Structure 1
Amino acid sequence: MKYTCFLLLLCLSISGASAQSILSGKITNQQTNEPLVATVYFPKLEKGAVSDFDGTYSIINIPKGTYTVVYSLQGYATLSQKISFSESETTTLDVQMTESAVEIEEVIISTPFHKLQSDNVMKVERVAVNDLNSKGAVTLADGITNIPGVSSISTGIGIGKPVIRGLSSNRVLTYTQGIRLENQQFGDEHGLGINEAGIESVEVIKGPASLLYGSDALGGVLYINPEKFAHRNETHADVQSSYFSNTLGTATTIGVKTSGEKLKFLARGAYAAHSDYETGSEYKVTNTRFNEKDLKAGLQYQGSMLKSTLRYNYNRSNIGIPEELGEQSSSKELLDPYQEIDNHILSWENKLFFEKSSLDVKVGYTFNDRREFEEEVTPALQLKLNTFNYDAKYYLPDFGQFETIVGVQGMFQKNENFGEEVLIPDATVTDIGVMGTTHYHLENIDLQGGIRFDHRAIESEAVGEASEQEYIPAIDRDFTSFNAAIGAKVDFSETITGRLNLASGFRAPNLAELASNGVHEGTNRYEIGNTDLNNEQNYQLDLSVAFRNEHFEVSANGFYNAIQDYIFIAPTDLTIDDAPVFNYSQDNANLYGGEFGVHIHPHPLDWLHFESSFETVTGKLNDGGYLPLIPANTLRNTFRVELRDGKLLKKPFGFISLQNTFDQKNPSDFETTSEGYNLLSLGVGSTIEMGKTSAVLGLTVTNLTNESYVSHLSRLKEDGVENIGRNIQASVKLFL
């Protein structure tokens, strides 16, 4: 530890002693030459500034090297440009921006080269959390279902598990604060465990991302970006409160952040509480109530050669587990059974900048304490999961048009039982992976490829006696996998872009699949694991084509995903302790489908937008039958207006949206078909400026017609329990 501290102090001293480079200039409107208040941002350095009212800007402490700088402003086309900096250099760059109705382009963080979406070889969906909240999302897990190709397996509204193109649980990896989130995601009733307060945006990689993230990224990655620090020499505070009519729920968050020349700090607290939700048939679903406390904090040092960021997140969730319809109540006090979950997430990232290269080192620690209470004061089930992550990437000097990264990632994980019930045994998991990836840029073609090797070791202790029915033998297994990815983006013209990606991914079986032997109360079944399971290995082909001009955008994204040794659970004819017995087994499987979208923003009616998207996925086993938990086909149509600023109202907007979910006629062997439904939503919002204080007001109504429906991905579907009915959300956010 003392050597780590010495190294950090040495880096700080070098950083402070080094000469500083500066970028400054003026941003103006190309048509009128008027100054613009725009954002200037270095993605690789994760630092930036906002220009003053006269359009001038200045960014200091820029290390030697070549970096991409991005200029963005709502209503203007995003610009990006590469700039090289030498030691102790002041660079002046004046920029003229062109008005455009096209949405602001954002830098994609989840892919290694941190490029704008238009420059990215891999198609990644990105959405701001503020946009999800404005559409009436109750939780983050609920909000991400507005992203095409993303769904959620829900237990009420308090528990939601992300589904990407029909794959979920340990096949979808969640990243937050730049490290992987581990919270026993194998369980059907184990939710996301992250509060949306203090989250800036969500990025979704749809398809195998094992090259970048290793095991468990076979189906895709949900990459959660925390809020940014304040710009240099700025201090901001905000408070937001929302009310939800259906659950009589409230959600409040308070945040503050301040930045000096080199040190930055932020902190945010949040609290939410909801009672049982009410369905379209006007009955409350007993014990779907939940509450949540959340605390986030961050500290950052940024010099000319080093940027060091420390973040911490604590989350306490108390979630009711519905079993049967009972007393109709508006109480927020939880009933038995319920879960009490503590998540601690600590991350430390250090970026060292050299003259022509850089080193990025992240370490992370997560602690998940999951307790389930039934009728006793002590928990019937308690699992403690300790996970240590590390991730080091070296960005090699550019060689011509080649950008190259090599890296090593790893994880050490320990699971321990402290309750009366044992779902999975005490065990340790050790991961290590090495990878290399390169990006090659030509005028109209971008190519990207890479390879990776991973090794995972799983060791568990025996549970019980060999003569007992619920005996779980000890496990000592090793899993290895080679994976690769290659892709190309071609600009056929100024308006037409095509992408083709071929990637492989893998997933080692989890402890539940290997070692289960007992009744899983959350699913009301007796599960028996299989110690002989192999890696899941998949190969996915993605093809996308997009047309885009100032009036019209259309895109088509298709995929075919072949999975070898797909692990699934299937019913048997046996019962144990009055519970049906389910066994884990393997078979090859295939998934295919895609997303198709249209966005019309006619000029000169730049304030008017029409957006339409359609998503479909089909999953089949090679030996016959359909895969479970495959979302039904969905069509969304939205009219959105974004009006010009008035004297009082700034950035006023309104929308009306219709979601058509079709019948799911292809259930697995132990599912039933599901009927389609239509959900109508609308919302309005605006910003009111009052001197140095501004207020963002929003009002959203979801399921306006109070339709009665049951989602195919609801875990309450088996009992015929409906999803949430009409909900009115009112929110106020004050910037102080």
Structure 2
Amino acid sequence: MDFKLTGKIVDESGEGLMASVFIHELGKGTAADIDGNFEINKLRPGNYHLHVTHLGYKSLSQTLTIQDADVEFSTTMIASAIQLESLTIEANPFKNGPLEQSQTILVIDRDYIEKNNAGTFANTLEKLPGISTINTGVGISKPVIRGMSFNRIMINDRGIKQEGQQWGADHGLEIDPFDVDRVEIIKGPASLMYGSDGMAGVINISPPAFKQDGEIEATVTSMYRNNNDMFSNSASIAGNEGDFVFGGRFTMQDFADYRIPAESFNYAGFVLPIYENRLKNTAGSERHFSVMGGVKKQWGYSTLTVSRFQQKAGIFVGAVGVPRSYNLRPDGDSRNIDIPRQESSHMKVIWNNSIMLDDKWLELDLGYQKNIREEYSFPHSQEVAPDNPFGNLALSLDLDVFTANARISQQKSDKGQAILGFNTQFSRNRHSGFEFLLPSYESLQGGIFYFREIKFRSNLIFNTGARIDGAYHDIQEHLQPIYRNSRPTGEMDQRNPDIQKSFINWSASSGLSWVFQNYFNLKFNLGSAYRIPTPIELSSNGIHHGNFRHEVGNANLGSERSYQADLNFAYSNRKVSINLSPFIGYFDDFIYLAPSGRFSPLPGASDLWEYRQNNAIFAGSELSADFNIIKNIGFNIGVEYVDSHNLNTGLPLPLTPPFSTFASIDYRLPLESKILDKMRLFLEGKLASDQNRVDRNERQTAGYKLLGAGISWNTILYKQKIQFQISGQNLTNEFYLNHLSRYRLLNLPEQGRNITVNVKIPISIR
């Protein structure tokens, strides 16, 4: 038997609001009418999570139980001038609201992503406090959370862990920034729900909400960036026909060699030229697509998504081998992608299900991924035979990953809920090419967890949980033939032996969230997590050209263990929102890659870096504040600091981000016309301090100041809405070095002045 949900949404004065009302598990919702009344029909008995949102008001999240009668729900929304306060947090798999979360969480939506789109998904996030990026030129970047990256950060795309050789600093995320609707970033240990790779945090990429029955919409977005003449075009469509939901997107992006504010650079005592301020062979091209189809019914929904990300990107010629003047001369074509370069392809097939089981909900996510990454460079005569079958293919890594995640949640009346879940993953990696870095291997991992939420009062919530995991790595031996002057010597170099290692371990966490005096929210989270060493950490032994170094693994590495505490203090009223988040973590047997102070014996290499294990401490704090005290003017500031300390050497760990501050001011002009509507002016700046806290043999980096600004507005042309934005980055064309950039090792600065133009056309088909 079916029932209906009715209700009324009003503001503090009792006036009706045309708010959006949404049932998360069903992907089903409606909009209230002008008086605030709404109705949702055809609901089965069960437990649901209801979300109410309206621009300019704090979002609401409510657990809803339907038993044997229709349900009426009415609520009053609280006005807020803070934009992010209108977002509902869905960062955990338990479908709770912001009160239930005991961890520090950042939420951004499509508007934020489009405003800050920097060409890659990771660079779009770096203005958020606590988030940095490791860059290899332009087009290749990956996120850093509180000083940690690689396999300590989990990227979840539509419920499936993204797997794409994430251990490499020069291996960017295969995520189309135009195909991201909403991102939820959990900072701090999240191994309980997601597995060992969630030690530093989790970045959840959520799919867009389903369209309502009979609704079809499309968008066309274009972007141009003048620094590297980047052209980006993306088109999408999404709709719902009789509860058959569908969507699709295609993106193409091409860019030339990027410009830097320098005419030369110093490497190993030599002054080398930069012709026409362009860094040779840093051009690239990308092609991405995704298609989704499924059904949305009373029992839940089931969707299948297929996507593919393809990128071809040049690597600065000086990053492979020793840079020389002759190979830095321009080739006459700034868009040419020459050797050395990398090519990557990432295909994903994801099946998402949300199914009602009486008073429980089953969430089942199944995924298959195929990641192919190829690096091309000219072989050295010492490396290959005269009949080299690989040509210029230096390295090819072919990774297949199968993933299955399941969770069953049950509401415990109004006193909280319980979750039982498991995750499992099988990976198989194969390699080829005339060079060697990572051997072929197979890996099986899996875990089971239990989570319990207890509501002592409506404003005081406690949660706790535990997890146990196991893993097995089977790594194959690799023997590399030795050649001299292109002639075989008959000798073999064992780069790594056969390695079979098993791991089993546990993790646990507890936290609470307490709201007092309506404006204050205190959150505390305490957890112990672990991380399994990856095959690259156990067995690598070769030149990692994108990092300009020879990397050597250690087969004796064990699991690392962390004990972390995270505090979040928030104050929020209609015009002010302040969040302070101090954190500290002790890591037992922390695994890291450190410079050895020795040169590599391999041709074309530079320094030799080794994987090591030492005890370490990470500590720091983040501050974010939004002020809308003056009408139509918003001010935002974000401050972050992280300190890492190797307890064995007494030195910091390598690649620790510097202290930095980001601030912006936003003015919304009170204009309402067809030509100029919703006009915004914004000014932003970033200040990064000197980074002198470095590991032995790691270079220090001077601080810098960056200035940006922009303007955006809407126009209606022949009844069609068009959104424009023009923005500038590094407007002063400052010469600066990014401490986390891989090209910093060559004393190469970051991009110079960059002007970005965005145009978006939303099209309502039905």
The equivalent residue for 1:117 is 98
In the TM superposition, residue 581 of structure 1 has moved relative to its aligned partner by: 3.0
1:336 aligns with 2:361: no
Q: Answer whether contact 2:129 2:638 (CA < 8 A) is retained.
A: yes
1:694 aligns with 2:721: yes
Within-5 A mapping of 1:49-60: 49-51=30-32, 55-60=36-41
For residues 35-94 of structure 1, what are the alpha-carbon distances to aligned partners after superposition, in whole Å with 9 as ceiling and x for unaligned? 54332112333332334567554434433213231211111232333332236x554545
Alpha-carbon distance change, 119 to 432 in structure 1, aligned in 2, over 3 angstroms? closer
1:563 aligns with 2:587: yes
1:635 aligns with 2:658: no
Question: What is the rounded CA distance, in whole Å, between the counterparts of 1:94 and 1:588 in structure 2?
Answer: 53
Secondary structure at the aligned position of 1:230 is classed as coil
The equivalent residue for 1:14 is none
Identify which of 358, 361, 370 aligns with 2:373: 370
Secondary structure at the aligned position of 1:371 is classed as strand
The equivalent residue for 1:613 is 638
Secondary structure at the aligned position of 2:111 is classed as helix
1:20 aligns with 2:44: no
Q: TM-score, normalised by structure 2?
A: 0.89
In the TM superposition, residue 689 of structure 1 has moved relative to its aligned partner by: 3.7
More deviation, 464-473/347-356: 464-473
Alpha-carbon distance change, 621 to 446 in structure 1, aligned in 2, over 3 angstroms? same
| Structure 2, unpaired ranges of 5+ | 264-276, 319-327, 379-389, 482-490
The equivalent residue for 1:148 is 129
Question: What is the rounded CA distance, in whole Å, between the counterparts of 1:330 and 1:723 in structure 2?
Answer: 21
Alpha-carbon distance change, 399 to 39 in structure 1, aligned in 2, over 3 angstroms? closer
Alpha-carbon distance change, 116 to 686 in structure 1, aligned in 2, over 3 angstroms? farther
Secondary structure at the aligned position of 2:430 is classed as strand
Secondary structure at the aligned position of 2:124 is classed as helix
Q: TM-score, normalised by structure 1?
A: 0.93
Q: Answer whether contact 1:136 1:729 (CA < 8 A) is retained.
A: no
Q: Answer whether contact 1:107 1:115 (CA < 8 A) is retained.
A: no
Alpha-carbon distance change, 62 to 280 in structure 1, aligned in 2, over 3 angstroms? farther
In the TM superposition, residue 628 of structure 1 has moved relative to its aligned partner by: 0.7
For residues 332-390 of structure 1, what are the alpha-carbon distances to aligned partners after superposition, in whole Å with 9 as ceiling and x for unaligned? 22010111111001111112113311111111111101111224756221111000010
More deviation, 715-724/304-313: 304-313
- Residue identity opposite 1:49 in structure 2: T
Q: Answer whether contact 2:47 2:66 (CA < 8 A) is retained.
A: yes
Within-5 A mapping of 1:25-36: 25-31=7-13, 33=15, 36=17
The equivalent residue for 2:288 is 294
Alpha-carbon distance change, 67 to 187 in structure 1, aligned in 2, over 3 angstroms? same
Identify which of 647, 655, 674 aligns with 2:682: 655
Identify which of 371, 385, 393 aligns with 1:379: 393
1:588 aligns with 2:612: no
- Residue identity opposite 1:99 in structure 2: A
Secondary structure at the aligned position of 2:198 is classed as coil
In the TM superposition, residue 128 of structure 1 has moved relative to its aligned partner by: 2.0
Within-5 A mapping of 1:313-712: 313-324=307-318, 325-327=328-330, 331-375=334-378, 379-399=393-413, 401-441=415-455, 442-464=457-479, 468-570=492-594, 571-573=596-598, 575-578=600-603, 579=605, 580-602=607-629, 605-623=630-648, 624-644=650-670, 646-648=672-674, 649-690=676-717, 693-712=720-739
More deviation, 223-232/485-494: 223-232
For residues 123-153 of structure 1, what are the alpha-carbon distances to aligned partners after superposition, in whole Å with 9 as ceiling and x for unaligned? 2111124313313523212111111101001
For residues 257-284 of structure 1, what are the alpha-carbon distances to aligned partners after superposition, in whole Å with 9 as ceiling and x for unaligned? 1102321100111001111111133711
The equivalent residue for 1:279 is 260
Question: What is the rounded CA distance, in whole Å, between the counterparts of 2:480 and 2:134 in structure 1?
Answer: 36
Q: Answer whether contact 1:417 1:425 (CA < 8 A) is retained.
A: yes
For residues 646-697 of structure 1, what are the alpha-carbon distances to aligned partners after superposition, in whole Å with 9 as ceiling and x for unaligned? 1223332221111111110111112111111111111111223457632111
1:161 aligns with 2:142: yes
Question: What is the rounded CA distance, in whole Å, between the counterparts of 2:535 and 2:92 in structure 1?
Answer: 29
Secondary structure at the aligned position of 1:591 is classed as strand
Question: What is the rounded CA distance, in whole Å, between the counterparts of 2:139 and 2:710 in structure 1?
Answer: 23
In the TM superposition, residue 250 of structure 1 has moved relative to its aligned partner by: 0.8
Question: What is the rounded CA distance, in whole Å, between the counterparts of 1:112 and 1:493 in structure 2?
Answer: 29
- Residue identity opposite 2:362 in structure 1: L
Question: What is the rounded CA distance, in whole Å, between the counterparts of 1:196 and 1:245 in structure 2?
Answer: 19
Secondary structure at the aligned position of 2:495 is classed as coil
Alpha-carbon distance change, 634 to 330 in structure 1, aligned in 2, over 3 angstroms? farther
Q: Answer whether contact 2:26 2:297 (CA < 8 A) is retained.
A: no
Q: Answer whether contact 1:136 1:701 (CA < 8 A) is retained.
A: no
The equivalent residue for 1:5 is none
The equivalent residue for 1:48 is 29
Alpha-carbon distance change, 136 to 368 in structure 1, aligned in 2, over 3 angstroms? closer
Secondary structure at the aligned position of 1:593 is classed as strand
Question: What is the rounded CA distance, in whole Å, between the counterparts of 1:627 and 1:328 in structure 2?
Answer: 40
More deviation, 695-704/110-119: 110-119
Alpha-carbon distance change, 556 to 99 in structure 1, aligned in 2, over 3 angstroms? closer
Q: Answer whether contact 2:170 2:546 (CA < 8 A) is retained.
A: yes
In the TM superposition, residue 27 of structure 1 has moved relative to its aligned partner by: 4.2
Within-5 A mapping of 1:205-224: 205-224=186-205
Q: Answer whether contact 1:486 1:501 (CA < 8 A) is retained.
A: yes
Q: Answer whether contact 1:427 1:460 (CA < 8 A) is retained.
A: yes
The equivalent residue for 2:80 is 100
Question: What is the rounded CA distance, in whole Å, between the counterparts of 1:77 and 1:521 in structure 2?
Answer: 49
Secondary structure at the aligned position of 1:522 is classed as helix
Q: Answer whether contact 1:38 1:71 (CA < 8 A) is retained.
A: yes
- Residue identity opposite 2:400 in structure 1: N
RMSD: 2.1
The equivalent residue for 1:3 is none
Question: What is the rounded CA distance, in whole Å, between the counterparts of 2:472 and 2:449 in structure 1?
Answer: 18
For residues 76-128 of structure 1, what are the alpha-carbon distances to aligned partners after superposition, in whole Å with 9 as ceiling and x for unaligned? 232333332236x5545455544331324323233132223244222211112
In the TM superposition, residue 525 of structure 1 has moved relative to its aligned partner by: 2.7
Alpha-carbon distance change, 646 to 443 in structure 1, aligned in 2, over 3 angstroms? same
Secondary structure at the aligned position of 2:678 is classed as strand
- Residue identity opposite 2:441 in structure 1: A
Alpha-carbon distance change, 217 to 81 in structure 1, aligned in 2, over 3 angstroms? closer
Secondary structure at the aligned position of 1:540 is classed as strand
Question: What is the rounded CA distance, in whole Å, between the counterparts of 2:494 and 2:517 in structure 1?
Answer: 64
Alpha-carbon distance change, 56 to 419 in structure 1, aligned in 2, over 3 angstroms? farther
More deviation, 541-550/47-56: 47-56
For residues 620-666 of structure 1, what are the alpha-carbon distances to aligned partners after superposition, in whole Å with 9 as ceiling and x for unaligned? 11012110111111111111123445122333222111111111011
Alpha-carbon distance change, 92 to 233 in structure 1, aligned in 2, over 3 angstroms? farther
Identify which of 309, 331, 337 aligns with 2:303: 309
